[in-house]
Amino acid sequence: MKFSISRDALLKPLSLVAGVVERRQTLPILSNVLITLDGDRLSLTGTDTEVELAARITLPEPGESGEITVPARKLADICKSLPDSGRLEFTLDEQRVQLRSGRSRFTLSTLPAGEFPNIEPAAGSVEFTVNQGQLKSLIDRTAFSMAQQDVRYYLNGMLFEVTPRHLRTVATDGHRLAMATYESELPGVRSDLQVILPRKGVLELLRLLQNPDEDVRLVLGGNHFHAITPDFTFTSKLVDGKFPEYERVVPRDADKRVLGPRVELKEALARTAILSNEKYRGVRLVLEDDNLQILANNPEQEEAEEQVGVSYSGSRVEIGFNVSYLIDVLSVLGSEEVRLQLSDGSRSVLVQDPGREDALYVVMPMRL
C-alpha cells in the first residue's frame, strides 16, 4: 500500500474522522483510523462502535491499493504539525507505516484492517434529501436543550420527526424544551417516523454540515441514522426508547403576552445572574405595566436588580427561573425582539421569535 497526498487535502477529513475516536478506549483498534485505498479513491474511517464516520478523498494519481489501521490522534497531530504546503508520502512496509514529508520521517504502528469493527449497514425505512444549511439550522436551534448523562437515557439525544410535510428536531432535559421545524414537502417520505439520535451523534453530525448550499441524504430507521454527502458517510446507532409527548408540555393557552428587546433582556439577565445562587442559578421575574423587573440574591445576602422596558398590560405576575436556561434560549434566537407567553407564576413560559413560527422554546419555572 502506497500513496502521496498533500497535507491540506488530508488534514480536514482526517480531523473530522479522528473527532469520532475516543481518547480512552477499551479496545486498541478503536483508537485507530481505518485507511483504505482503491486506485485513486482513499477512504478514512473512525468509530467508537456507536458512531461511525467515513471520509472519501480522490487522489490526483492512483497509488498501490490496500488497507490498514493506524493511531488516529497521532496521525492527525503529525499532519497538523507539518508545513501548510507539505506533501505526505504514505507507505505500508511489513506492518509498519512510513510517513515522509520533506526532511521529516515518521514510523507508526498498525493493526490489521480485518479487526476494525464497522457498523453493519441496515436498510432504512425512510430516505430523503435536505439542504445542509437547513438541517444545521434545525440542530443549532435545539441542541442546547439535550440532557447530559440523564438516567432517562432517551433524553440524552435529539428527536428527529419526519413526516411527508415536515422535518422537526426536538430536545429536552426535563427542565426546558426546544423545538424547530422545517415545513416542506419531503419527496420519498410516505409515512411518519420518529427516531432519537444520541448526543454524541448530534454533535458529530453538526461538525459535518459545513456546506450550507449543498444537500445531504438522510436514511433513517433500522436502528441506524445515516447522513451521506459526496465527501462523507455518517452512521450512528439510535437510542432505543420512546421520546416524551412533547406537544403536551407546550403551553398553547397562555393568556399573558410580553414583547421585549432580546439583547437588552439577555444582558440584564447575565448581569443579574452574577449575584444569583451559584448552585441553583435562580432569578425572579416580576411583570407589571410595561416593565419587567429581574431580581436575584444569594446566601451571602447580596442582591441584584434590573429593570427592562417591555410591552405588557396584564395583571402582576411573579415567576422564578434558572437564569442559565433563559440566557440559552435568548442566545439562539436571532431576532431583535422576543415574545414570552405565560399563564401564572407556577406554569411554564413559552418563548418565541415574534417574526417566526418555526421554532419554540419552553422553560419550566422554579420555586425560589
State pLDDT tens for residues 45-88: 999 999 999 999 999 999 999 999 999 999 999 999 999 889 99
Q: How confident is the model at residue 188 (pLDDT cuts 50, 70, 90)?
A: confident
Indicate the fold that domain 251-363 takes in CATH: DNA Polymerase III; Chain A, domain 2 (3.10.150)
The reply to whether 126-247 shares the fold of 2-115 is: yes
Looking at residue 22, what is its pLDDT? 83
- The pLDDT of residue 247: 95
3 pLDDT band (50/70/90 cuts)?
Answer: very high
Mean pLDDT of 339-347: 95
CB 321 within 8 A of CB 282: yes
Cα dihedral sign, 264-269-272-275: negative
Cβ atoms 201, 236 nearer than 8 A = yes
- What's the chain's length in residues? 368
C-alpha pair distances (Å), 37 with each of 63, 253, 267: 8, 59, 53
Q: What's the CATH number for 126-247?
A: 3.10.150.10
- Tell me the CATH number of domain 2-115, given options 3.40.50.970, 3.60.15.10, 3.10.150.10, 3.40.50.620: 3.10.150.10
Quick one: average pLDDT of 170-189? 96
Q: How does residue 154 score in pLDDT terms, banded at 50, 70 and 90?
A: very high
SS3 of residue 75 by DSSP: helix
Which residues fall within 8 angstroms of residue 53, CB to CB, at 6 or more apart? 16, 17, 19, 20, 45, 46, 47, 204, 208, 232, 233, 234, 235
Instruction: Spell out the domain ranges in the chain.
Output: 2-115, 126-247, 251-363
Q: How confident is the model at residue 368, as a pLDDT?
A: 81
Q: Once rounded to an integer, what is the mean pLDDT over residues 28-35? A: 96
Nearest to 244 by CA among 152, 313, 334, 335: 152
Q: Is 294 exposed, middle or buried (0-12, 13-18, 19+ CB in 10 A)?
A: buried
Question: Average pLDDT over the chain, rounded to whole?
Answer: 95
The predicted structure's pLDDT at residue 120 = 78
Q: How far is CA 173 from CA 130, 151, 177, 199, 333, in A?
A: 27, 11, 7, 12, 19
Q: Is the pLDDT of residue 122 over 90?
A: no
pLDDT reported for residue 199: 97
